[in-house]
Amino acid sequence: MTTKKTELTIKNCHFVRPCEAEWSQLAPTAYRNDIRHCSACTKQVHLMTNEQDLAFAVFYGFCVAIPIELAKCLPKLEAKIEIARKSSRTHLLGAIAAPKIRKE
């Protein structure tokens, strides 16, 4: 179940380091099917399958692969979704983070 705080975190997240790689081109890891290795940046990329996983990834700033269908719940990524669709990509990839909250 998604909480209000989780929902806000997800809806306001953004890519701090977008990636042009495609999930299918990343090297599989020996220990998990939902984590692959990016040889360009040498980081692990986590496949997101639901909003709870996405909220966890946002909190920790993981590099992620978000299927286009799941990415539809992310208003701040609408432009990136359109670009991905035009190029026949199936996932959006990159390091993801929540917006920084300014203290006044």
pLDDT of residue 1: 46
pLDDT of residue 85: 78
Specify which residues 37 forms β-bridges with: 27, 44
In the predicted model, residues of the chain with pLDDT beneath 50 are 1-2, 4-8
State how far the Cα of 57 lies from the Cα of 36, in Å rounded to an integer: 15
Q: CB within 8 A of 41, min separation 6: which ones?
A: 17, 19, 63
Which token pair is 42?
A: 């040498």
Which of 5, 14, 4, 6 has the alpha carbon at shortest distance from 75? 14
pLDDT of residue 8: 47
Indicate the pTM of the whole model. 0.78
pLDDT of residue 24: 92
pLDDT of residue 99: 66
pLDDT of residue 9: 52
pLDDT of residue 12: 63
pLDDT of residue 84: 79
Q: CB within 8 A of 63, min separation 6: which ones?
A: 17, 19, 38, 41, 43, 44, 45, 46, 93, 94, 95, 96
